[in-house]
Amino acid sequence: MVEAGVGIIFWILTFVIIVSALLVVTLKNIFHSALFLILCLFAVAGIFILLHAEFLAAAQVLIYVGAVSILIIFAIMLTSNMASKKIIQTNQNALVAFFACLMFLVVTLVLINKTGVWNYSTRNLPAENILTIGKLLMTDFMLPFEVVSVLMLAAMIGAIVLAREDKA
Partner 1 sequence: MDLQLPELNLLKMLPEIFLFLWALAIITFDLGTRRKTGATVGYLSLLGLLITGLILVFTGYGRGFGNMFYNDPLALFFKMIFLGASFMAIGSSFGLTNQKIVNHRGEYFALILFSTVGMMFLSSSNELLSLYIGLELTTIPLFVLAAFFKDNKLSVEAGIKYLVVGAFSSALLLYGLSFLYGMTGTTDILLMKVNLAVTQLKFEGNIGLVLIITIILLLAGIGFKLSLPPFHQWAPDVYEGSPTPIAAFLSVGSKAAGLVAFAKIMVNGLYAFYDPVMRPNDWGVLVGVLAAAAMILGNVVAIRQNNIKRMLAYSSIAQVGYIMIGMVSFNELGLASVAFYIFAYMFANMGAFAVVAFFEDKTGSCQIESYTGLAKSSPVLSIAMTVFLLSLAGIPPLAGFLAKFYVFAAAIKMAQAEGSYNWLYWLVGIGLLTSVFALYYYANVIKTMFFSDADSPYKLSFTLPVFTVIMIGLVGVFLFGLYPEPIMKFASEIPTSLGFIVD
Rounded Cα distance, 100 and 59, in Å: 31
The nearest distance, CB 161 to partner 1, in angstroms, is: 5
| Shorter beta-carbon distance to partner 1: residue 78 or 161 | 161
Among 107, 125, 126, 130, binds partner 1 (CB under 8 A): 107
Count of beta carbons in the 10 Å neighbourhood of residue 17: 18
What is the four-CA torsion angle of 104, 108, 109, 111, rounded to 10 degrees? 140
List Cα–Cα distances, 130 to 53, 67, 156, in angstroms: 9, 21, 28
Task: State yes or no: residue 15 binds partner 1 (CB under 8 A).
Answer: no
Q: End-to-end CA distance of the chain, in Å?
A: 70
List Cα–Cα distances, 152 to 22, 24, 55, 148, in angstroms: 31, 28, 21, 6
Among 1, 4, 112, 127, binds partner 1 (CB under 8 A): 112
Task: State yes or no: residue 101 binds partner 1 (CB under 8 A).
Answer: no
Task: State yes or no: residue 96 binds partner 1 (CB under 8 A).
Answer: no
Query: Per-residue x/- marks for partner 1, 129-158, CB under 8 A?
Result: --x---x--xxxxxxx--xx-xx-xxx-xx
Task: State yes or no: residue 77 binds partner 1 (CB under 8 A).
Answer: no
The nearest distance, CB 117 to partner 1, in angstroms, is: 5
Among 80, 81, 92, 115, binds partner 1 (CB under 8 A): 115
Interface segment toward partner 1; rule CB under 8 A; list 6-14, 18-26, 77-85, 111-119: 111-119
What is the sign, positive or negative, of the torsion defined by CA atoms of 129, 134, 140, 141?
A: positive
Rounded Cα distance, 147 and 70, in Å: 26
Task: Catalog residues that contact partner 1 under the rule CB under 8 A.
Answer: 107-108, 110-112, 114-119, 121, 131, 135, 138-144, 147-148, 150-151, 153-155, 157-162, 164, 166-167
